[in-house]
Amino acid sequence: MNNLSRRDFIKLFTNALFSLGGLLGLVGLFRYFDYYPPEAPVEFDLGNIADFPIGSRTVRSDIPAVINNVDGKIIAQSLVCTHLGCTVAESVTGFDCPCHGSRFDENGNVLAGPAQKPLKTLRVELSEDGRVKLHTKG
């Protein structure tokens, strides 16, 4: 390598840069395919039962769910549209999906498509100390 011409040096340097760029790209690609998103919580503590008086309707956008107290029984429904998973917004007639126009009544039943299924009912537990727990799965 004592007799390395300028042309050979530039060729060697260019090949080294391309090789390094390709290697960095492959590392990034492997990291991309190895990504596991953090799991969303499946249980939420909604507070005390006294926070939900009889006849109340509470919309929680952080879960997203609506919690109803119907004659002393806590009922929760998901606010995720059954069509493509958008979060529905509260309206005068119930809930409207801003993505594709599905409409649901206040009980989660479909009023207008493209959604075919009603909003999902979520499991609610009342603990011994009077706390309301909402389960989004199962």
Averaged pLDDT for residues 38-49: 75
Answer with the residue of higher pLDDT: 20 or 81.
20
Averaged pLDDT for residues 114-127: 84
Q: What pLDDT sits at residue 138?
A: 57
User: Could you tell me if 49 and 132 are in contact, meaning their C-beta atoms sit under 8 angstroms apart?
Assistant: yes
If you average pLDDT over every residue of the chain, what do you get? 83
Residue 137 has pLDDT above 70, yes or no: yes
Condensed to tens digits (0 to 9), the pLDDT of residues 11-35 reads 999 999 999 999 999 998 988 888 7
Q: Burial, 104: exposed, middle or buried (Cβ in 10 Å; 0-12, 13-18, 19+)?
A: buried
Distance separating alpha carbons of residues 102 and 87, to the nearest angstrom:
11
Condensed to tens digits (0 to 9), the pLDDT of residues 99-113 reads 888 888 888 788 877
Which secondary-structure segment (H or E) carries 125? Answer: strand 121-126
